Structure 1
Amino acid sequence: MTGVRVRRADGTLWVGRAPAHPEWTGLVEAEGAVLTWDVPAGQRLPSAEVHHGERAADWLWQVYGPAADALLAVPDGTETDVELPAGGGPLAEPLARLARLGWLAAWWPASQLAGVPALSAALLAAEAAVVAADVEGLLDEPDAVERLLARAAPAVHPLAALADDPELGDAARALAERLAEVAEDFGVELPEPAALPADAGGWALAAGGEPPGGVTALSGVGPLNWRRLPPGVVDAAAELRWTLVRREGRLLLDVAVARAPSAFAEEAQGAALRARSDADAVEFPLEVTAGGAEFGGAAELPPTALLVPAPRRTVTVWAPGYAGPDDAEPALEAAELAARQEPVLAHAERQLDAGEGSFAERVAALVDPEV
């Protein structure tokens, strides 16, 4: 049994406390409630914000077991401790899996620098569709399974290619069979499977381009805030690099950011970033460099830019249409960002070392020779 703090105010019931940061948060939107898990910490039973008690009452016992009655009985305007059974109810485990699969799609820290391979978005969607079908009655989105099946369609061919793999063949066949069953049940047509060769080379990054010429005046590194960037676009363990360089009589700020491993190419195609020199209020685009390993760009700055000491020079990078330069807590310092992101990288490394987790993680560890 595990004790959890429960409170109710203005009709809303809070069970436990949501994870401190979005980078740590797995989430499922259920009927009348939002369930959250701290994924890097391995949280098994979710925290919850129950905003419609009558709708949630139909299924809450399937998550929290017999403790659900005690949770719903907490009076408005009060706060108390409730003992939860360690294993929860019958749907606690599949809901946790669904939340983690969503977290993997949004926050998995693919990084060549840290040796964390990218995950296949289609395989993640295939696993999520199968799990979502088992808990469909709880979900707030009526078309959740159909949406995931549409995203899972490209996984049919890789699953067929892996069917004879000595390590993953059984799991690949089981997932493919269950995916086909779910697609038939929900009236979604998937492509016919064809055994295609797995392309292990697609996980490697191309070599980077040569550094720009000119005379370097100042240089430094800065943090990347994941909340400003879509998953699978930049290397999760990388920092942005900036250089103030004199070139052809002009003072230029060069910015470079390492791209994510290319297994995410289908999600990252056409991705464009922007950078801003915060001290100078100058914005400019970052585009994929000729070598393909980085996003890079440059902008001319006034000579007064040399008066800003390197430790005080900050550069912000974001993806237009996904976030703005001032979104996602712009005042966060590098140390605070690192404290939030390091547990995510550590969790990924533990999962890969253990050879466990989702099918997509096991595939990534198998095809990436560095892991």
Structure 2
Amino acid sequence: MAGSHVDVHVTRGEDGTILIAADPAPGRAEDGSGPDFARAVLDVAGAVLSWPVREEPGLPMAEVHDVGRAQQWLWALYGERTAAAVHACVAGEPAGVRVTADVTALAGAAARLGFGHWAARWWPASYVDGIPALEPDVLGLELAALTHWCQQLFGDFNDFDDFAGFNGFGDGHVGHDGHDRFGGRPDDCVAELIEDHQAALDPLIQWWRAAPQSADTARHLESVLRLLDDAADGAGLDGQALRRLRAALEQHRPAGTTVDLGALFVRHDGYALAAGDPLVTGGRVIARGSGTNDWRRYPPGFVDASETAVSWTARALGARRQIEVEIVAHIAAPVAGAPLVAEVRVNGGRRNRVPLARRDDVWTGRADLDPQGPAGAVPPRFEVGVLLPGFDPGPGGPEDRADRDAIRALVRRRLATAAQPLTYDGSPHDASSGPFLAEIAAVAAATEEDY
């Protein structure tokens, strides 16, 4: 990709924001990129970069709100002509111009980093659909390595001290695109990523030192590990795992014995679908069905991403009407302390919320039905969804189902690619649409788990 050229439009908005977008002309942000979960987004110095994840990675669309801070990376990402056009727009003439941008090495690495943040937030892990979850520590370390390589994109970390107390569950930083970032931290927190995810260092070292399936995988691993070592050294980080990393890198990698990659990253948490007792309250069943599973309405790691994860049963108990809701939990879902709720609407009436509790592998809850709403529907019409109050942006449109299906298809293609030998030249920007280490590990671990 690096070394090619793309025509871009550089325009100035009424609020002074500079927009850089490849063909088609501005408007793509609203019409071309789809819902939040179909876009990869990266917060950089003075701007927000975004890519549609279902397209081949290329130059991002940029919304530049601080040209002074963005100057450190504009030329390196888009080339000299684009940087000059941005300055011309800031000066007021012209209001918009079309120029030829360079597709640089930094553009490839940025696209990969943006997709990695997307995967950390939107990866549709589903036990029901057979889509394995990504190991968050493996993904977190590769994001740290990529961020270190892309450091030119980011400003001074001190700009983001306000987020130091974030607890990691989606209640903090909301980016310019309106959705929560990976771990809630700004996109350049290399030291925090390393510290939070260093549990994967030893398995990655073992994978690299043993004998990966291909020399290309070994080069990929070594590139990530060396970037992590350099980033940790620059940040003044220390600890036994980081010392073992440095010692391993100072030695020549031995031919090694084979390693069971699936066993190295398999989860041992006893998760099994429908392990608990069914939720039964008696009474006569008057309706049952599946609800809507809108990924935007709860943080990652709460609910299985399958379209059929939300199910409900309505019962008649004498004169009362009661609804029971079951939602398949994500493998990493919190057991307690998460006020997840189901939202129930009957016959177009008001939306009622049903508190949910984690029971084994499902979220469950029940409530009496609200009698409000247009009468006369036989059988009654139910709308059921799942959300986390305070996180929820509101339900999406009916077209979102097709977008979610398209994301599942994208992820299945990536997992199929991850199962094949990797072609990699050792640089972090190579094959920016290629598999992450976490994807390769997920494929291997899925063969050890009950998927």
Under a length normalisation based on structure 2, what TM-score does the superposition of the two structures give? 0.71
Q: Describe the superposition over 1:329-358 as per-residue Cα deviations: whole angstroms up to 9, x where unpaired.
A: x3x34x312122122211111100111411
Residue pairs, 1:1-371, within 5 angstroms: 1-10=5-14, 11-16=16-21, 17-18=28-29, 19-72=33-86, 73-74=88-89, 75=92, 78-85=95-102, 88-140=103-155, 142=157, 144-163=189-208, 164=210, 166-167=212-213, 170=218, 171-192=220-241, 198=264, 200-202=266-268, 205-208=271-274, 209-213=276-280, 214=282, 215-239=284-308, 240-247=310-317, 250-260=320-330, 262=331, 264=332, 270-278=337-345, 279=349, 281-289=351-359, 292-301=360-369, 308=377, 312-323=381-392, 327-328=393-394, 330=395, 332-333=396-397, 335-355=398-418, 356-369=434-447
Is the 1:29–1:141 contact (alpha carbons within 8 Å) kept by the matching residues of 2? no
**Cα deviation code 1:191-216 (max 9, x no counterpart):** 42599962525487413034333221
Q: Does the Cα contact within 8 Å between 2:191 and 2:231 map onto a contact in 1? A: no
Contact 2:335-2:358 within 8 A present in 1 as well: no
Aligned partners of 1:111 and 1:237 also within 8 Å? yes
CA distance, structure 1, for counterparts of residue 156 and residue 272 of structure 2: 40
When residues 24 and 367 of structure 1 are mapped into structure 2, their CA distance, relative to the original with a 3 A threshold, is: same
Q: State the secondary structure of the residue aligned to 2:299.
A: coil
Are the structure 2 counterparts of residues 269 and 146 from structure 1 closer, same or farther at C-alpha, using a change threshold of 3 Å? farther
Query: For residues 134 and 63 of structure 1, do their structure 2 counterparts lie closer, same or farther at Cα, with a shift above 3 Å needed?
Result: same
Distance 2:231 2:340 in 1: 38
> For the structure 1 residues 93 and 203, does the alpha-carbon distance in structure 2 shift closer, same or farther, using more than 3 Å as the test?
farther
Instruction: Write the distance in 1 (CA, Å) between the matches of 2:59 and 2:98.
Output: 15
How many positions carry a matched residue from both structures? 358
Q: What's the CA shift for 1:82?
A: 2.7
After superposition, the C-alpha distances for 1:32-70 in whole angstroms (9 at most, x for unaligned) are 211111122223110001112233223201111233245
Shift of 1:107: 0.7
1:189 is displaced (CA, Å) by 2.6
**Identity score, percent:** 29
SS in 2 for 1:344: helix
Inter-partner Cα distance in structure 2 for 1:268 and 1:161: 32
1:12 aligned partner, one-letter code: T
- Secondary structure of 2:404's counterpart equals helix
Identify if the C-alpha distance between structure 1 residues 307 and 51 changes in structure 2 by more than 3 Å, giving closer, same or farther. Answer: same
Deviation, structure 1 residue 104: 0.8
Q: Normalising by structure 1, what TM-score?
A: 0.85
Query: 1:73-125: CA deviations, max 9, x gaps?
Result: 3445733433333xx13311121121111111111111122221101111111
Distance 1:69 1:37 in 2: 19
**Aligned counterparts of 2:61 and 2:52: Cα–Cα separation in 1:** 9
